[in-house]
Amino acid sequence: MTAHTLTERPARSTLLDGLGRYVPIGATLALLLVLYFTGVANYPKFDQPQVVAKLFIDNAPLLVIAVGMTFVILSGGIDLSVGSVMAFSTMASAWLTVEAGIAAPLALVLVLAFGTAWGVLIGAVIHHFNVQPFIATLVGLFLFRGLTLQISETDVSMRDIEFFGWGMTHVEFFGKVRDGGFWLPYLSFGAFAVVIVAFVVLHYTRFGRSVYAVGGSEQSALLMGLPVARTKIGVYAVSGFCAALAGVFAAFATKSANPLANVGTELDAIAAVVIGGTLLTGGAGFVLGTVAGVMVWGVLNTLIAFQGNLSSWWARIAMGVLLLAFILLQRVLARSGEKRRA
C-alpha cells in the first residue's frame, strides 16, 4: 500500500462523514416536497399560497417548542416537560390577567421568567445530581399538568383583555387571499424571529459550539475546557423559555386557556426535531432541519383535512412511521461512518 493511498483514505472518509451529516435533512426536504406535490396533484386549491402560510400559522407554537427541544437534543438530552410548561404558561397568563388583574405585558414577562427559571432548575438537577434527563423532565410533565388543573379545570377566556387581540393581527402579502395573496399574523413573525435567533446562536456563538461539543462527547468537551455545566443548564433554560413563549403564543392565538391543551406536544416536538435531522444521541443537527420537520407534521395534517373523511389520528400514525424510519436512517449512517473510520 502506497503512502498516497494512506493519505487519501482518511481524507475521503472525512469527506463522506461530513456529507453524511446532511443526508437526514436532505431526506426531510425531499419528503416535504413529495407530500406537498402529492397534495397539489390530488386536491384543488392545495397550491394556494394561503395553504402554505397556514402551516406557519397553525404550527407557530409547536415550532417555538421544537426550536428549544433542538438545543436540548443537540446536547444529548431530552425534555418531556415542554408540553405541560406550555399549557401552564397559557393558563398562568389567563389567571394573571383575568383573575389577578395584572397588566398583560407584565404577566407575560413573569410567565417567560418562570419558564426560564424552571429550565435552569431542571438543568442544574440533571447536571449536578447526575439524574437522567428523561426522569428529571418527566417530573415536570406531571408537575405542571397538575398545577395547570389547580388553576382551573375549565377554559378561561381572555377575550376581554384588549392586549391579546394583538397576536392574530395580520399582514397581507400580494393582496387578498381570493386574488392569490396570503396573510400572516404577528405570531408567525415571532416564531420566525425565534428560529433566526436560534440559528445565529447555534452556529455563530461560543455557546452554540459548546452545545454541539457536549452532545458529541461530554468527556471530550470537559478535556477541552468547555463550560459543560453552564452549557447543559443553558440548553434547558432555552427549552423552558421556548415552552413558556409557546404558551404565550397560544394565549394570543386562541384568547383562551384550556387546562387539557397540549397533551403530547412534547412528543410532537421530539418527532419534528428527529425527522428534521437532529441525532437523538446529540452532537449533530440543524435548527432549519427542525423547521422542515415541523412543516412535515403540518403538511400531513393539511392533507388529512383536505381528504375530509380521515381521522386526525392518521397524522400521528404517519408521524410515528416516519420517526421510526428516520431513527433507522440515523443508525445506518452512524454504522457506515464507524466502518469508514475503522
- The ranges assigned to domains in the chain are 21-336
User: For residues 218 and 174, what is the distance between their CA atoms, to the nearest angstrom?
Assistant: 49
Model pLDDT, residue 136: 93
CA angle 197, 207, 105 (to 5 degrees): 45
Q: How far is CA 32 from CA 273, 322, 323, in A?
A: 14, 12, 14
Closest CA to 155 of 260, 285, 62: 260
Name the 3-class secondary structure at 103.
coil
Residues 6+ apart with CB under 8 A from 241: 68, 112, 115, 116, 119
User: For residues 309 and 331, what is the distance between their CA atoms, to the nearest angstrom?
Assistant: 36
Name the 3-class secondary structure at 174.
coil
Model pLDDT, residue 18: 54
User: For residues 99 and 230, what is the distance between their CA atoms, to the nearest angstrom?
Assistant: 37
Model pLDDT, residue 144: 94
Model pLDDT, residue 7: 43
Residues of the chain with pLDDT under 50: 1, 3-16
Residues 6+ apart with CB under 8 A from 58: 298, 301
* Distance from the Cα of residue 59 to its chain's centroid: 10
CATH of domain 21-336: 1.10.3470
Residue 296 CB coordination number (10 Å): 23
User: For residues 157 and 161, what is the distance between their CA atoms, to the nearest angstrom?
Assistant: 9
